[in-house]
């Protein structure tokens, strides 16, 4: 573009419009929803229904689910919404900080720990059998992120409590069962207590179709891969900022080096670390943690 064209666009205001469109495009691509993830929706009354099928381990992997620990809480410096390094057995600054508070002997500190404790989420590949709200999802493979309550139902199916109940493997193509996801809004949160497994049946009758579907599954190992976590030092820096432990102000005559870092600005990039939608703090004992994660993620993006 020539200088003459630049001046012309300036007078017309078209350059500004172009830049705005570019920013919108960036936001849509880098901050948009992870298309691999499926999430049920509820109606105006807070009720929701869908039928899904948990799928076997992806090719080359042993376990049909992955688990992720995360933290989400608010401090004087803003929100802390991060995956925890304890997920992979590492040391995490929030866990260490919480341990110190818990051992202080102060009940108020213990209340802080409860608000800042780890939250557990699970990920699994699913096949959407029925999705009344979004029928275009039916017949497709997605990653599904869920909390402890649904995972408990999976474990109950594998290890039933009573002798007259036959154990099943919900992740089996042939001897598994569809999962009827029933959501009821209770005390302001989604409740999954009425969800249940259907009778045992093959997902599809054609083995070739099953194999093709199996090859479409997403890697669960990627959910907890190294690139899904920040370094210990970066997490510690963020934690101190959120807790209000900001670095002292510099002298006026200091050279300015990397202004963005000294401001302590922070914008979580949830799409770059896909498979996380992981976060929560104020969640009641009767609610599924997964929904609180989405709630706090939304707050962080505002």
* 252 band by pLDDT with thresholds 50, 70 and 90: very low
Which range marks the domain in which residue 271 is found?
A: 34-246+263-301
pLDDT on residue 7: 63
From residue 192, how far is each of 52, 157, 185, 211 by CA, in Å? 14, 15, 9, 31
Residue 3 located in a structural domain? no
pLDDT on residue 69: 97
Number of folded domains in the chain? 1
Residue 23 located in a structural domain? no
**Average pLDDT score over residue span 248-267:** 37
Query: Which of 41, 33, 65 has the alpha carbon at shortest distance from 128?
Result: 41
pLDDT digits (tens, 9 = 90+) for 98-145: 999 999 999 999 999 999 999 999 999 999 999 999 999 999 999 999
**Average pLDDT score over residue span 270-281:** 40
Residue 258 located in a structural domain? no
Pair 281, 74: CB distance under 8 Å: yes
CATH of residue 79's domain is 3.90.198.10
Residue 158 located in a structural domain? yes
pLDDT on residue 187: 85
pLDDT on residue 298: 46
Residue 253 located in a structural domain? no
pLDDT on residue 11: 62
* 253 band by pLDDT with thresholds 50, 70 and 90: very low
Residue bearing the bigger pLDDT, 299 or 113: 113
CA–CA separation, 298 vs 302, rounded Å?
6
* 10 band by pLDDT with thresholds 50, 70 and 90: low
Q: Would you say residue 296 has pLDDT above 60?
A: no
pLDDT on residue 33: 74
Q: Would you say residue 64 has pLDDT above 80?
A: yes
State which of 5-14, 17-26, 282-291 shows the largest mean pLDDT: 5-14
pLDDT digits (tens, 9 = 90+) for 143-199: 999 999 999 999 999 999 998 999 999 999 999 999 999 999 988 889 999 999 999
Pair 72, 298: CB distance under 8 Å: no
Q: Would you say residue 259 has pLDDT above 70?
A: no
Residue 5 located in a structural domain? no
pLDDT digits (tens, 9 = 90+) for 204-246: 999 999 999 999 999 999 999 999 999 999 999 999 999 998 7
Residues with Cβ within 8 Å of residue 95, at least 6 apart in sequence: 84, 86, 118
Q: Would you say residue 288 has pLDDT above 50?
A: no
pLDDT on residue 6: 59
pLDDT digits (tens, 9 = 90+) for 12-46: 665 566 665 555 554 444 455 789 999 999 998 88
Residue 252 located in a structural domain? no
Residue 25 located in a structural domain? no
Classify 253 in phi/psi space as left (phi over 0), alpha (psi -120 to 50) or beta: alpha
CA–CA separation, 173 vs 131, rounded Å?
20
């Amino acid at each position: 573009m020539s200088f003459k064209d630049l001046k012309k666009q300036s007078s017309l205001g078209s350059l500004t419009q172009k830049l705005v469109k570019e920013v919108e495009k960036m936001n849509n691509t880098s901050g948009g929803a992870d298309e691999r993830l499926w999430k049920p929706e509820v109606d105006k009354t807070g009720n929701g229904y869908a039928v899904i099928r948990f799928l076997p381990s992806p090719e080359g992997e042993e376990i049909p689910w992955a688990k992720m620990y995360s933290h989400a809480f608010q401090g004087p410096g803003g929100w802390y919404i991060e995956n925890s390094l304890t997920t992979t057995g590492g040391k995490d600054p929030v866990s260490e900080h919480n341990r110190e508070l818990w051992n202080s002997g102060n009940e108020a500190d213990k209340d802080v720990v409860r608000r800042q404790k780890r939250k557990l989420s699970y990920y699994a590949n699913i096949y959407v059998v029925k999705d009344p709200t979004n029928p275009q999802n039916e017949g497709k493979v997605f990653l599904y992120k869920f909390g402890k309550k649904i995972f408990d139902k999976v474990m109950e199916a594998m290890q039933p409590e009573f002798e007259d109940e036959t154990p099943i493997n919900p992740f089996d193509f042939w001897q598994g069962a569809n999962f009827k996801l029933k959501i009821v809004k209770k005390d302001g949160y989604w409740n999954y207590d009425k969800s249940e497994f259907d009778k045992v049946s093959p997902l599809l009758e054609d083995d070739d179709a099953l194999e093709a579907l199996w090859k479409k599954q997403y890697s669960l190992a990627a959910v907890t891969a190294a690139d899904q976590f920040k370094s210990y030092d970066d997490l510690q820096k963020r934690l101190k900022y959120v807790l209000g432990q900001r670095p002292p102000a510099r002298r006026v005559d200091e050279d300015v080096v990397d202004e963005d870092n000294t401001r302590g600005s922070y914008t979580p990039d949830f799409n770059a670390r896909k498979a996380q939608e992981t976060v929560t703090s104020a969640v009641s004992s009767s609610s599924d943690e997964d929904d609180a994660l989405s709630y706090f993620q939304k707050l962080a993006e505002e």
